[in-house]
Amino acid sequence: MPWIWRSDGDYVRDLPPIRRIIPFIMRGKNEAIAYFQYKLDVSRTEDFIEKFRQSTGKKITYLHLAIFGAIQTLARKPKLNRFVAGKRIFQRRGIWISLSAKKAKEEDAPIVTVKRLFTPEQSLGEIFDTVQEAVELSRSGKKTATDKEMQFLLRLPVFLLSLVVRFQRMLDHFGLLPASFIRNDPLYASLFIANLGSIQVDAAFHHLYEYGNIPIFLVMGRAQEEVVVGAQRQPEVRKLLPICISLDERITDAFYGIRALEIFRQIFEHPQEHISIPTSQEKGSSDKGTSYDQ
């Protein structure tokens, strides 16, 4: 049956009745949205970033660490890598991450969106290279397949464009949307990451796009020093990075999401325990992603 077959996911058959019926009760992502807000202690993270940069020459940032942490978390907690389509829940094939970046640090500069497939075996250095290549390609002005599709569609009259979009949504509902369309569209992904801290903006909760099938949106803000209660219950100044996460709770429950966020937090706050820094002779080869069994 076409509505339980898709090019980007496998129909989850062993769900409990309450989980199967939820998409019929909560029909849209934003009707089922759950919000999580964290402040990550990046005191050790900044030291790790500096050492990694000096050793490899790769100017990694919080964004690259967030992508690494998200990949490992999704691998460890696969129920987060699910999505709802046609009121049914699917397990996504592969870890696809979309992110946005401005073409230049100017108010009127356009925002580019990129999407890439990642694996848990990729090193932090390899992730850096993949992201840089994707962002540079988008900033180069070279038109992608998605750009060409949108330019063509926007030439249509409004009423005809509306019919095309409705037809596309119908195909998506029944699992008939072509694989090439899904593969190129950044709103068909496991996760969307927006790094507002790169433009010195605070984190904010983002809605989930009803279009496409992204169930998680992660927004990073700017890191700032704050006074916190230390180990000896004495005030300490720490650098904290705020993140805001929006989750489509139809794919899994909030408790599962919280446990997954703890894995992400541990990786981000203690990267030296999860990522080895390659020496000058091992650049790009030894900082392999770890598998998490605990």
Pairing status of strand 111-118 against strand 191-195: unpaired
What is the average per-residue pLDDT within 60-75?
A: 96
pTM of the predicted model as reported, rounded to 2 decimal places: 0.87
- CATH number of domain containing 121: 3.30.559.10
Query: For the chain, what is the domain count?
Result: 1
Task: Note whether residue 278 is domain-resident.
Answer: no
pLDDT tens digits, 104-139: 566 666 677 889 999 999 999 999 999 988 888 776
Task: Note whether residue 123 is domain-resident.
Answer: yes
pLDDT tens digits, 228-283: 887 778 888 889 999 999 999 999 988 899 999 999 999 999 999 999 888 754 55
Task: Note whether residue 157 is domain-resident.
Answer: yes
Bridge partners (DSSP) listed for residue 199:
none
Task: Note whether residue 101 is domain-resident.
Answer: yes
What is the average per-residue pLDDT within 72-76?
A: 97
Q: Indicate the helix (H) or strand (E) that contains 143.
A: none
Mean confidence (pLDDT) of the chain:
87
Closest CA to 113 of 180, 32, 177, 209: 209
Tokens of 120: 């848990």
- The reported pLDDT for the residue numbered 109 is 62
**Separation between Cα atoms, residue 40 and residue 114, nearest integer Å:** 25
Task: Note whether residue 218 is domain-resident.
Answer: yes
- The reported pLDDT for the residue numbered 107 is 61
pLDDT tens digits, 131-140: 988 888 776 6
Task: Note whether residue 290 is domain-resident.
Answer: no
Give the domain range for residue 181.
2-273
Q: Indicate the helix (H) or strand (E) that contains 233.
A: none
Task: Note whether residue 68 is domain-resident.
Answer: yes
Task: Note whether residue 217 is domain-resident.
Answer: yes
